[in-house]
Structures are given as structure tokens and as C-alpha cells.
Structure 1
Amino acid sequence: MTLLYIKAFHLFFMVAWMAGIFYLPRLFIYHTLTNNQAVKDQFKVMERRLWFFITPFAILTLILGIWLITLYGAQWFAAAHWLHIKLALVSVLYVYHIYLFFIMRAFAKDENKHSAKFYRFLNESPVLIVLAIIGLAVVKYV
């Protein structure tokens, strides 16, 4: 029963984290498109608050995921080839999360170097990774 609760919370925190991961680059798009400094300053606040709001969700997702792997055991982990691919993709999302932090810092210093088109691509790219992660977790086949 404990396993199911851990899995439920793992999924909850992952969904909350992904909501923020999908929204933060959208804020970057809007931030890029404005020339009004007051609006830019408001976006800086929103971006910082969102990043620091979703980061605990990313950490809890990771902790609970590791806990689940521990509960299933080393033998299961060695045999779960789908999970190895999933973990590689999840690692990409954590790198993406950290990359968003560096972008946010550049915006905070008014040093944005990218276009709105770049941020649109950045906003949409993790969707395919999340689809693959969910597919692997549900189907468990590779």
C-alpha cells in the first residue's frame, strides 16, 4: 500500500513540475516581446517566483522516484530496461530545468540573447520528452 501512495505523490509532483516547466518558457516569450521596462520588471518577478515554486516539485519528484526504485529493488532495476531509458530522458528534463534557471538569470540582468521564436521552440520541445517518459512508464517495454 505504501508503494501506491509514494507512486501517487511521485506522479502529483511530476505533474506540478511539468506545469511550471511548460509555463516558464511561455513567460520568456512574453518577456522578449515587450519593450516596456515596467512590464519586463513584472515578468522578472513572475519568472523568479515560478522557477522557485516548481523547483521543490522537481526535487520531490526525484526523491520519490528514487524511493520507488529502492522499494522495487536492485534486481528489478537491473531488469527494467525501459526504466534506464526513462531515467536518461528524465535527466534531460533536469538539465532543461537548470537551463531555464540560467535563462531566467539573464532576463533578470536584462541580458536576453534569444528571440521569441527560440523560446517558442524551447517551450514546445519538452512535450515530446514527457510523452516518451509517460509512454515508457505505462507500457514498460523496450
Structure 2
Amino acid sequence: MAYLYLKAVHIIFVVTWFAGLFYMPRLFIYNVEANRLPSSEQEVLHRQFTKMMKPLWYGITWPSAVITLLMGVSVLIKGDWYLQLFKPEGFWLLLKLVLVLLLYAYHFSLHRIFKQQMAGIYKYTSDQLRMWNEVATVFLVAIVMLVVVKKEISVIWGLVGMILLIFILMMAIRIYKRIRNRKQ
């Protein structure tokens, strides 16, 4: 019974963590794009985006990442999933954990961008940030597919699907950029 509650809490905080991972890069993009405006407008917008980013990052995204990790480890132990990790039937779980580690690396990369923007340093263009924004989508799709489909999924077809998803996302970004440029 406790296992199911741990699992439910884990899923809830995965959702809130991803909400932050999806929204923070959008705020980074808007913050960078504010630099194109006159300085008086820039100041107002930078202050507003800072006001929005801090509570999202420190109040939702970081706590959710930590609780997701704690609950994930609890589910892994309480559900005896760790016993399958290095067996053939546990390959999906091992692969999922590798993706989760990479997702945390992505989280830390967003933290670095957050700290830079808080210091008024804008190293990336809005187009670069738009592409970086889609990384969370790729992780979400890959991890959910692994968890739901488990060992039924072929690694080859999984990779083909991920490459196709990345291609579609990149095309969508290009199309959006063309539409945005026509409006300007």
C-alpha cells in the first residue's frame, strides 16, 4: 500500500518538475528577446521576468526535482525494482535511469542559464533557447515510452522514433521562426 502512495507522489512531482522544465526556457527566451526593445522597456521586462523566474525555479522546479529523485529512489527500493536492473528484463529500467540522469544534467544546464540571466548575462539567442527548450520534450517522450511499454519496445524502433520526434520538433521551430520573421 505504501508503495502505491510513493509512486503516486513520485508521478505528481515528475509532472510539476516538467512544468518548470517546460516553462523556464520560455521565460529565458522572452527575457533575451526583451533586449531588442528600447532600454526603458528592457528594464521593466527584465524585472518582470526575474520576478517570474525566481519563484518558478526555486519554489517549484528545484523542489520538484528533489522530491522526484527522493520518491523515485523510494519506489525503486520499495518496489524491489533495483533487483531487475542488470537482468535482461530490467534493461528498460536501466535505460530509463540513464535518461533520468541526463534529464538532471539538462536541469543543471537550465540552472546555469538561470544564474547567467539573473546576472544580466545573455549568452544564447532566442533561437538557441527555443531548440534547448525542446530537450525536455524529448526526455519526456522517451522516459514515458520506456515506462509504459517496458521491454516490449525495440531499442532500434525507439531510436528511430526519437530521431523522428527530434526532426519534427526542429521543423516546427523553423516554421515558427519563418512565420515570426514574416510578421516582423
**TM-score using structure 1 length:** 0.94
Counterpart secondary structure, 1:110: coil
Number of matched pairs: 142
SS at match of 1:140: helix
Gaps of 5+ in 2: 36-41, 154-184
Corresponding position: 1:46 with 2:56: no
Residue 75 of structure 2: aligned partner: 68
Alignment of 1:1-142 (within 5 A): 1-35=1-35, 36-53=42-59, 54-73=61-80, 74-79=82-87, 80-141=90-151
Runs of 4+ with >4 A deviation: none
**Secondary structure at the counterpart of residue 16 of structure 2:** helix
The amino acid of 1:23's aligned partner reads Y
* Cα shift readout 1:75-95 (whole Å, capped 9, x = no counterpart): 233331111110111111111
Distance 2:74 2:86 in 1: 16
Deviations 1:30-81 (A, max 9, x none): 0011131121122122112211121111111111110111112242333311
Post-superposition Cα deviations, 1:91-117, rounded to whole Å, max 9, x if no partner, equal 111111111111111111111111000
Query: What residue identity is the alignment partner of 2:106?
Result: Y
**In structure 2, C-alpha distance between the alignment counterparts of 1:75 and 1:104, rounded to whole Å:** 38
Q: CA RMSD in A?
A: 1.3
Given that 2:18 and 2:136 are in contact with CA atoms closer than 8 Å, whether structure 1 keeps it comes out as no
- CA separation in 1, counterparts of 2:76 and 2:135? 27
Question: What is the identity, as a one-letter code, of the residue corresponding to 2:13?
Answer: F
Structure possessing the higher relative contact order (Cα contacts under 8 Å, 6 or more residues apart): 1
Task: Tell me if structure 2 keeps the 8 A contact 1:13–1:58.
Answer: yes
Counterpart AA for 1:83: L
How far apart are the structure 2 equivalents of 1:47 and 1:121? 19
Deviation of the 1:125 alpha carbon: 1.8
Any conservation in 2 of the 1:69–1:77 contact (CA below 8 Å)?
A: no
- TM-score by length of structure 2 reads 0.73
Are the aligned partners of 2:25 and 2:132 in contact in 1 as well (CA < 8 Å)? yes
Amino acid at match of 1:32: V
